[in-house]
Amino acid sequence: MKAYFAGGCFWCVTPIYKIYGVDSVVCGYSGGDEVNPSYKDVKAQKTGHRETIELTYEEDNVSFDKLLDIYFANVDPFDGEGQYIDKGFSYTLAIYYQNDEEKEIAESRIKALEEESGKKFRWL
């Protein structure tokens, strides 16, 4: 299985997943129109891409829901400007779901966290 999360600087979130039953973590970019964008252009906010990680995992070892637990424990969903010291669109949050089930799980988790916190997520 694969999951794709934009959670700020991809180098910062990559190590988190390596210890939770994820087979591999690959850094890349998602969401923009430019084919094969350079790191320099993405970081300079020129491409419309977000820094994104691709997780390859076995559902017997870790669920998509557990991956979301890890994601939400390591990002600030109320910061629409980026994550922590990294600011700009390329550092904003996104969950790139692969099917309707993942979409439903992600939306349900976001709604529950919003209700619990009394705050709205800041997704662009």
Is 124 within the bounds of a domain?
Answer: no
* Known active-site residue 27: no
Domain count, the chain: 1
Structural domain for 62, as ranges: 2-117
What does each of the 124 residues of the chain score in pLDDT, given as a tens digit?
999 999 999 999 999 898 778 999 999 999 998 999 999 999 999 999 999 999 999 999 999 999 999 999 999 999 999 999 999 999 999 999 999 999 999 999 999 999 999 998 877 5
pLDDT of residue 20: 76
Is 20 within the bounds of a domain?
Answer: yes
Of the residues 2, 7, 8, 9, only one is catalytic, namely 9
Is 90 within the bounds of a domain?
Answer: yes
- Cβ(53)–Cβ(14) below 8 Å: yes
Is 95 within the bounds of a domain?
Answer: yes
Is 71 within the bounds of a domain?
Answer: yes
Region at 110 (left for phi over 0; alpha for psi -120 to 50; beta for the rest) = alpha
Separation CA 46–CA 90 (nearest Å): 9
pLDDT of residue 109: 94
pLDDT of residue 124: 52
CATH number, domain at 77?
3.30.1060.10
pLDDT of residue 28: 97
Is 123 within the bounds of a domain?
Answer: no
Is 62 within the bounds of a domain?
Answer: yes
- Percentage helix, strand, coil for the chain under 3-state DSSP, each rounded to 5: 35, 25, 40
Is 49 within the bounds of a domain?
Answer: yes
pLDDT of residue 72: 95
pLDDT of residue 21: 82
